[in-house]
Amino acid sequence: MKLPLMLFKQCFFGGFFVNNKSRIKVGIIGVGNCAKSLVEGIQYYVQNPDDKVGLMYQDIGGYTVEDIEFVIGFDIDSRKVNQPLGKALRAAPNCAMDHVKEIDNTCVAEGAKVYYSPVLDGVADYMLDFPEEVSFRISKDEVKTMDEIISLIKESKVDVLINYLPVGSEEATRFWVDVALAAGVHFVNCIPTIIATEDTQEIEQRFIDAGLTIVGSDMRSAWGSSRMSEILQGAMLDSGLIVTQHIQMNMASGSTQGQHYIRTGRTANTDFLNMSKQERLENKHISKENVLKGQNIVRDESICGMTLFAGPSLTVQQKPGGQYVGTDNKVANFDIVAYGFGRARYEITGRLSVQDSPNSGGVVVSAIRFCKVASEMGIVGFLRGPSAWTQKTPPLQLRSSDSKFECDALARRVFTDLTTPQKKENNPVAKNLPYTFQASKNDYV
């Protein structure tokens, strides 16, 4: 006998019934390149179900890519504000590669729009000096107030808000954390803010009190320089070596896929242009180095006297003239020195060239679903496993194998020693949960 369609929507998962599962509604703060790649990538996978390459998790607690829907966006750029979300994602200065011919309503809700939210410290003055084709331009429309934004988020029934603001948006992130808590939505903090332990604890307590989940901070890519550094650093330590120097230098260089024909005028994407001045970079630098230090800390290995450096080091800018287009291609160079058996010396040099924004989509597509599933399981606060797997500065640094184990368990809706104390019914208190101490200043200051 055939079951009615409604019953097909009910799926059994790891001992849980997900009744009448509805789509996860997502709101985007900062409709830039990473947002473009995430939305287009999800549309691509839904429309090409046989292609699974690049999807770390096809199924997280019963949710697949088909279950993600983008319902609202917030930005400050005159070319994006008041536009339909799909159109804004393709507007300049976004330059990430296209994954689909056009953005349709496969995963963008009908009527989803981009609203003008407060600029605060989102835009550095020097961004306005770059040509408009490749940089930000602030809208002159009327900006929405916090109360209006909270109402819009509630009306759109957002489940998860993603913070994709430019690096250095400290005040703006605080604004959006307040919005998320007031609107009752989960939060994925993809940028290097809220990285010092005392800030993280304070924010975590507020999310616990509100019965919400948070993943953060500062997303890493599916296979980017942070993952490379983490794996190499961890594997060398596990092989009994000491790593005395680990330098990871990142720069914008090359071409966005599909734009290789452009000979002159290529320049960095807005993320790299924004990071071209040191004043905006402090937290990014600390967060990137936390990846290296983290692998020592979890193994109780000292970093005393080691040369560890990871950071955006160079933003290649073209001379005026030519056809100005941003490039989403990023190159990371690695220079590692280690010592092993009988004081023998090892040297590794490496180079990774990637399309930056799609690479980040490969982790956020999972982070969104982890928030939703964890909350359905009654977990509150920072998701330690998914944060360690998808972000550079999680509240708790973990070995790669341990963070993957935690994610796999959550994807099967199974509790672990880390998630059980975070069940709402166990009344978790942030200060009593496990943390890796992370300073607000780097160690050398």
User: For binding to ligand NAD (CB under 6 A), which residues are involved?
Assistant: 29-35, 74-77, 117, 119-120, 122-123, 136, 164-167, 172, 190-191, 218-219, 221, 269-271, 356-357, 359-360
- Tell me if 386 sits within 8 A of 396, measured CB to CB: no
Q: Which is nearer to ligand NAD, 91 or 409 (CB)?
A: 91
Closest to ligand NAD by CB, 179 vs 430, is 179
CB of 128 to ligand NAD, least distance (A): 12
Q: Smallest distance, Å, CB 274 to ligand NAD?
A: 6
Q: To the nearest whole angstrom, how small is the minimum distance from the Cβ of residue 392 to ligand NAD?
A: 7
CB 38 within 8 A of CB 364: yes
Spatial separation of the C-alpha atoms in residues 135 and 148, rounded to whole Å: 27
Closest approach of Cβ 149 to ligand NAD, in Å?
Answer: 10
Q: Which is nearest to 191 in space by CA: 222, 154, 219, 157?
A: 219
Question: Closest-CB residue for ligand NAD?
Answer: 32
How far CA 98 is from CA of 90, 102, 257, in Å, comes to: 9, 8, 8
Cβ closer to ligand NAD: 36 or 246? 36
The neighbour count for residue 56, using CB atoms within 10 Å, is 17
Task: Report in angstroms the alpha-carbon separations of 288 from 39, 48, 118.
Answer: 25, 34, 28
Taking the complex as a whole, the smallest distance from the CB of residue 52 to ligand NAD amounts, in Å, to 21
Of residues 88 and 236, the one with the C-beta less far from ligand NAD:
88
Tokens of 316: 């290649």
At its nearest, how many Å lie between ligand NAD and the CB of residue 417?
A: 29
Task: Give just the sign of the alpha carbon dihedral 221, 226, 232, 236.
Answer: negative
Cis status, amide bond into 394, omega within 30 of 0: no
Pair 373, 410: CB distance under 8 Å: yes
Residue closest to 307 by CA, chosen among 284, 275, 344, 338: 338
Tokens linked to 350: 């490496």
What are the residues facing 397 on neighbouring strands? Answer: none
Nearer to ligand NAD, 94 or 233 (CB): 94
Q: How many alpha carbons lie under 13 Å from residue 400 in its C-beta half-sphere?
A: 17
Q: Which is nearer to ligand NAD, 35 or 407 (CB)?
A: 35
In the complex, what is the shortest distance from the CB of residue 272 to ligand NAD, in angstroms, rounded to a whole number? Answer: 8
Assess contact for 160 and 189: CB atoms under 8 A.
Answer: no
Cα dihedral 164, 165, 168, 171, rounded to 10, equals: -120
Rounded to a whole number of angstroms, the CA Rg of the chain reads 21
Identity of the residue, 271 or 406, whose beta carbon is nearer to ligand NAD in the bound complex: 271
CB of 20 to ligand NAD, least distance (A): 34
Q: Is residue 316 within 8 Å of 225, Cβ to Cβ?
A: no
Q: Which is nearer to ligand NAD, 18 or 325 (CB)?
A: 325
- Residue 214 CB, nearest distance to ligand NAD (Å)? 16
Q: Is the CB of residue 69 less than 8 Å from the CB of residue 23?
A: yes
| Smallest separation, CB 283 to ligand NAD (Å) | 10
Nearest distance, CB of residue 73 and ligand NAD, angstroms: 9
Q: By C-beta, is 120 or 146 nearer to ligand NAD? A: 120
Which of 170, 218 has the CB closer to ligand NAD?
Answer: 218
Q: Which two tokens stand for residue 249?
A: 């230098």
Between 94 and 419, name the residue whose CB sits nearer to ligand NAD: 94
C-alpha span between 44 and 35 (Å, rounded): 14
For the chain, what is the largest distance between any 2 Cα atoms, rounded to a whole number of angstroms? 71
Measured CA to CA, the distance from residue 370 to residue 349 in angstroms comes to 35
For residue 428, give the amino acid letter.
Answer: P
